[in-house]
Amino acid sequence: MNRINQILVASLIGCLLPITAASAIAKPSEQNSFDQELQKIKYSYALALSDDKNLFYAQVEFNSDDNSSRNVSKSGYKSPSKAFLLSLALPGLGQYYYGSRIKPVAFLGVEAFAWLMRGKWNSEGTDLTAEFEKFNRDHWSETVYEEYLFHAYGFTDDDSVKAPEASHHLPDTRTQQYYEMTGKYDQFSWGWDDAELDSLKYKDWDASFPPTVIGDSTVPTSVNRLSYETMRNDANKKFDKANKMLMMVFANHLISAVEAFLSTKKRNESSSYDPEFSRLNVETNIKSTYGWRDTPYLSVGYKF
């Protein structure tokens, strides 16, 4: 009788194996329920045919998808390096790449504001520069300055003067350095048309030569010089603000890039994705009514 039961069990298993293989291509939810019912039918019938009450039953399972019974969010892997480079090129682009819709607006807003203010202050600085350069041409005379050098040192060219109080050399052309020196250094103070020292002005030089400018007490006063320095300082402030906006642009690019990199990396770590072969489901079972005649059972499934 036991021999007949064994034959019946083997025949039943032979019939069920093709069905099991077909279940491998079924949908995951259908495959799980189908396998459960199949196991019940298969081994309940085998147990019913067996006269041996000391039934041996062993099962070993391997499942490469531990989360197959759970609903997992799979929104796709995002590259942190790509997000970094995108935001480095255009702030907010890396944030948009990894899925944010608020941060891109914030970073782009900072970028637009910085460029807008840089353009505004740079334009204002340029206009003020044109104003103080014109003021310099109207009220500072290179000819008068050279005449002062001749009276004080015997030379009309400051390159020939070997005195510590006349260490600066006026450029031959009206460069940025030219406009800076004529207002900044006392050496050039007698070139201003309203320069005055103890009631001595340029028109009085024929009677009394001006003293050499070697200290505070010998520096002539000049309202035009003070006005000029104020104008030049205002222009420099505008350019300083414009440069700060440029620094803000660079900082915005860098901060956006780092934030995109870290957020993308964190997003990948906190989410579950489909790595290679994760949709492959493999189950191996060793089930039999007798331990010395185990029947291997293999189930392979792939989720589409």
Displacement of CA 119 from its chain's centroid (Å): 23
Beta strands in the chain (DSSP E): 280-287, 295-302
User: Residue 8 contacts by C-beta under 8 Å, 6 or more apart in sequence?
Assistant: 49
Based on its alpha-carbon atoms, the radius of gyration of the chain, rounded to whole angstroms, reads: 45
Distance from C-alpha of 279 to C-alpha of 27, rounded to nearest angstrom: 11
Distance from C-alpha of 148 to C-alpha of 298, rounded to nearest angstrom: 107
**Confidence category of residue 15, pLDDT binned at 50, 70, 90:** very low
Strand 295-302 relative to strand 280-287, pairing: antiparallel
pLDDT at position 80: 94
Quick: pLDDT tens for 133-171: 999 999 999 999 999 999 889 999 999 999 999 999 999
Quick: pLDDT tens for 20-44: 444 444 444 444 555 565 555 555 5
Distance from C-alpha of 228 to C-alpha of 224, rounded to nearest angstrom: 6
Smallest CA-to-CA distance from 287 within 70, 75, 16, 105 is with 16
On whether the CB atoms of residues 289 and 47 are closer than 8 A, the answer is yes
pLDDT at position 114: 97
Distance from C-alpha of 118 to C-alpha of 114, rounded to nearest angstrom: 6
Q: What is the pTM of this model?
A: 0.60
Distance from C-alpha of 5 to C-alpha of 48, rounded to nearest angstrom: 9
Average pLDDT over residues 236-247: 97
- Report the alpha-carbon angle 58-63-64, nearest 5: 155
Sign of CA dihedral 149, 154, 160, 165: negative
**Confidence category of residue 302, pLDDT binned at 50, 70, 90:** very low
> Which pair of tokens denotes residue 265?
């990396």
On whether the CB atoms of residues 105 and 93 are closer than 8 A, the answer is no
| 3-class state of residue 239 by DSSP | helix
**Confidence category of residue 246, pLDDT binned at 50, 70, 90:** very high
pLDDT at position 285: 60
Regarding predicted confidence, which is higher, 302 or 186? 186
List the beta bridge partners of residue 281.
301
**Best-predicted range by mean pLDDT (233-247, 263-277, 286-300):** 233-247
What is the pLDDT of the chain when averaged over all its residues?
A: 78
User: Residue 128 contacts by C-beta under 8 Å, 6 or more apart in sequence?
Assistant: 231, 234, 235, 238
DSSP annotation of 162? -
Tell me whether residue 173 is exposed, middle or buried, using C-beta atoms within 10 angstroms of its C-beta: 0 to 12, 13 to 18, 19 or more.
Answer: exposed
Whether residue 172 has pLDDT greater than 60 = yes
| % helix, strand, coil for the chain, step of 5 | 60, 5, 30
pLDDT at position 68: 40
Q: Percentage of the chain surpassing pLDDT 90?
A: 55
**163: Cα within 13 Å, side-chain hemisphere:** 14
Distance from C-alpha of 166 to C-alpha of 218, rounded to nearest angstrom: 13
**Confidence category of residue 298, pLDDT binned at 50, 70, 90:** low
Average pLDDT over residues 217-232: 96
Smallest CA-to-CA distance from 300 within 84, 61, 3, 50 is with 61
pLDDT at position 276: 40
On whether the CB atoms of residues 56 and 291 are closer than 8 A, the answer is yes
**Confidence category of residue 238, pLDDT binned at 50, 70, 90:** very high
